[in-house]
Amino acid sequence: MTAQVQELRLELPHIELSARVFGPEDGYPVLALHGWLDNAMTFAQLAPRLQGLRIVALDLPGHGLSAHRPAGVGYAIQDYGLDVLAAARQLGWDRFGLLGHSMGAIVGVIAAAALPEQIERLALIDGLLPYTTPAAEVPEKLGKALLAELELPNRRKPVYTTVEDAVAARLKGALTVSREAAELLAERGLMAVPGGYTWRSDPRLRLPSRMRFTPEQAAACLGAVRCPTALVVAAGGLVAPHAEAMRLARQQPHFSLHELPGGHHLHLDDAAGAQAVADCFNAFFAASTGRNE
């Protein structure tokens, strides 16, 4: 499926971000947020199938073609909320929708909970609650994270002789994707280095989090979401086996829940999965904006 796509650079006060833009200039404004170690290409199959939306798919900091955070600054999940809001302000959007996959969906929930006056609609793909740590375990987890950061300079990023080798490595990752999906992510995620290719993503993204939400804090964020929200859950993804997340999702009065076949990247793995997700979200945005489908 083909669609006109524009490249965009956003000079935010604290960092420079890259983005891919889909849809008509007068479409309903939506920021799209990808998952951990992915990039804006995660929406390459889905975005052209979404109707009447002006979608700005960001490369979040440390991912894709966007800048990395400065030395000594980590990648706490809540910090992406500032990136999202600063990007919207740069675009001149006072109120807008969010479309998120996996980590991007979690960021969307946090942003919508924190600033409900700005986030009008929330479309989530196989992501909902941040990983949590019980309060009693925080000191131990913090210590392990700090030690891991100290050791990072001794680690080297892998270099792959060919793009095909890098794609093959992505196919062996913990979150499996189709070859087509891996190739799309590689288009934006790889860079040439001496000896071959390596992934652009900041190695610090793989470090354990210094601090996580407690389970109570995560649940409170979800309960604070007030805007209409559509959650697509993949049968073979990450949310479906999480009984507590599913229970909380079903309790939210503003949520519509859609359970679809497919894996964690069902919106990117193939055209059929992308169309199934698009069918859910086109109806959701049409109902919210008063458009005819």
In a domain, residue 203? The reply is: no
In a domain, residue 271? The reply is: yes
Is 165:196 a contact under the CB 8 Å cutoff? Answer: yes
What pTM did the predictor assign?
0.95
Q: Which among 76, 70, 79 has a CA at the least distance from the CA of 142?
A: 76
List of residues 6+ apart from 191 with CB closer than 8 A = 197, 198, 199, 200
In a domain, residue 153? The reply is: no
pLDDT for 176 equals: 84
pLDDT for 3 equals: 62
Q: Is the dihedral angle over the CA atoms 133, 138, 140, 145 positive or is it negative?
A: positive
Which CATH number does the domain housing residue 58 bear? 3.40.50.1820
pLDDT for 293 equals: 45
- Number of structural domains (the chain) is 1
- pLDDT single digits (tens) 170-185: 998 777 899 999 999 9
From 18, 66, 102, 201, active-site residue:
102
In angstroms, what CA-CA distances link 169 with 24, 37, 106, 174, 281?
Answer: 36, 13, 26, 11, 32
pLDDT for 4 equals: 79
Is residue 102 annotated as part of the catalytic site, yes or no? yes
With 0-12 CB in 10 A as exposed, 13-18 as middle and 19+ as buried, what is 143? Answer: exposed
In a domain, residue 180? The reply is: no
Ranges under pLDDT 50 in the chain: 292-293
Is 152:202 a contact under the CB 8 Å cutoff? Answer: no
In a domain, residue 268? The reply is: yes
In a domain, residue 137? The reply is: no
Q: Which domain holds residue 234?
A: 5-132+212-289
In a domain, residue 57? The reply is: yes
pLDDT for 238 equals: 95
In a domain, residue 66? The reply is: yes
pLDDT for 2 equals: 52
- pLDDT single digits (tens) 183-221: 999 999 999 999 999 999 999 999 999 999 999 999 999
